[in-house]
């Protein structure tokens, strides 16, 4: 990891994040390094400007979404939430994953947008609960083991939600 995204935006490395402060800092950096400002600059300055704008985009997208923010915070602690050697999940969550995946497949087969939207709402509720848990575990208790387990669940829900949105778009 080259640059700490939180330091890049002048923010504290916490899960609980002032999204408006993130947005403001991002816009300020993007404005200062916009390619239009460097049209007559040297090739080196143009390249540096492009690199800063690209890094700002990557950092912003990582911190904006709770699942990727949680994963990133754990990486700052040297923890890979998702890795080949670290995939353990509680059996009840694995069963829940299978149930949600089945609901997604059934709704896609039936071209049932209402069922897909209901599943999205269910996942949003679960995601909100997990975000609160992660905040408690990471920011307050510094319980990185529990936070890692919660982050894995958030990442799964984020991926499944993306799959559902794709399914809805394909049916529209």
Closest to 9 in 3D by CA, of 51, 53, 66, 60: 60
- Cα-atom radius of gyration of the chain, to the nearest Å? 19
CA 42 to each of CA 34, 51, 52, 153: distance values in angstroms, whole numbers, following the listed order: 14, 14, 15, 47
List the beta bridge partners of residue 86: 83
pTM: 0.91
Give the sign of the dihedral formed by CA 56, CA 28, CA 7, CA 63.
Answer: negative
According to the model, what pLDDT value does residue 86 have?
A: 62
pLDDT confidence of residue 87: 65
Handedness of CA 112, 118, 124, 127 (dihedral sign): negative
CATH pick for 91-171 out of 3.40.190.10, 1.10.3720.10, 3.50.50.60, 1.20.1280.20:
1.20.1280.20
pLDDT, tens digit, 9 for 90 and up, residues 77-117: 999 988 766 667 889 999 999 999 999 999 999 999 999 99
Selection from 63, 106, 107, 72 nearest residue 1 by Cα: 72
Find, among 88, 25, 86, the residue nearest to 60 by Cα.
Answer: 25
| CATH 1.20.1280.20 domain span(s) along the chain | 91-171
The pLDDT score that the predictor gives to residue 82 is: 83
* Portions of the chain given CATH number 1.10.287.110: 5-64
Homologous superfamily, domain 5-64: DnaJ domain (1.10.287.110)
Distance of CA 27 to the CA centre of its chain: 19
């Amino acid at each position: 990891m080259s640059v700490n995204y939180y330091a890049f935006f002048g923010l504290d490395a916490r899960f609980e994040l002032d999204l408006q402060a993130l947005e403001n800092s991002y816009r300020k950096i993007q404005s200062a390094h916009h390619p239009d400002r460097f049209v007559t600059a040297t090739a080196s300055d143009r390249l540096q400007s492009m690199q800063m704008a690209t890094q700002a985009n990557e950092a912003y997208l990582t911190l904006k979404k709770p699942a990727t923010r949680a994963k990133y915070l754990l990486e700052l602690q040297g923890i890979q939430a998702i890795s080949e050697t670290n995939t353990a999940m509680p059996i009840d969550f694995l069963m829940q994953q299978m149930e949600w995946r089945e609901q997604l497949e059934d709704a896609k087969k039936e071209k049932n947008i209402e069922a897909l939207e209901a599943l999205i709402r269910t996942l949003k509720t679960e995601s909100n609960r997990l975000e609160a848990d992660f905040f408690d575990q990471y920011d307050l208790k510094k319980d990185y083991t529990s936070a890692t387990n919660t982050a894995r669940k958030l990442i799964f829900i984020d991926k499944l939600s993306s799959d559902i949105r794709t399914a809805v778009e394909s049916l529209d």
